[in-house]
Amino acid sequence: MKKLSLMLLLAVAAFANQSANGQMKDSNPMVGGAAMMRSMDIVDNAMNSADHTTLVTAVKAAELVETLKSKGPFTVFAPTNAAFDKLPAGTVETLVKPENKAMLTKILTYHVLAGKFDSKAIAKRIKADGGTAQFKTVSGGTLWASMSENNLILKDEKGSTSTVSIANVYQSNGVIHVVDTVLMPN
């Protein structure tokens, strides 16, 4: 048990440090070939990322632009275009139709936490909660966060997992963590 606790502690510390290494206090990682500016909000930065065009289209279709441009702060687990491509064929096209706005909104807000949770805050919760932290999403659902080696893993209500590929993309109204799989609520 002590060995497991030590391994968990090391993994959490490595994740927090890995996310901060190589970044000056005022810099952000490049996302989708674009510089992410701390002075810009979540929507404006996402619009600049070539890897998040599907997410931006979905946010517009769900009429969440103004919400995600508001003061926040928010933590957004932002699926890439490749993450959306993993969904069954036709899913995105169906979700962005006006008649499916409620379902799209539920899925998108399931990727959002109220408050600013950078990798250090998430790692602290994982450690405090014994290896798996539970987070309530803006949609009212639950996400679970844990570590696998140096990777932050999110588990959704359907039991699927998503890995954070880029952590700590700071925004004027929160923080984005880029994820490789769309998270799905019940």
What does the pLDDT average to over 29-49? 84
Domain ranges (residues) in the chain = 2-179
The whole-model pTM stands at 0.84
Beta strands in the chain (DSSP E): 30-31, 34-35, 74-79, 112-114, 132-136, 142-148, 151-155, 161-171, 174-179
pLDDT tens readout for residues 58-105: 999 999 999 999 998 999 999 999 999 999 999 999 999 999 999 999
Residue 159 CB coordination number (10 Å): 8
- Predicted confidence (pLDDT) at residue 186 exceeds the cutoff of 80: yes
CATH superfamily of 2-179: FAS1 domain (2.30.180.10)
171 phi and psi, to 5 degrees? -125, 170
Residue 26 — very low, low, confident or very high, per pLDDT cuts 50/70/90? low
pLDDT tens readout for residues 92-144: 999 999 999 999 999 999 999 999 999 999 999 999 999 999 999 999 999 99
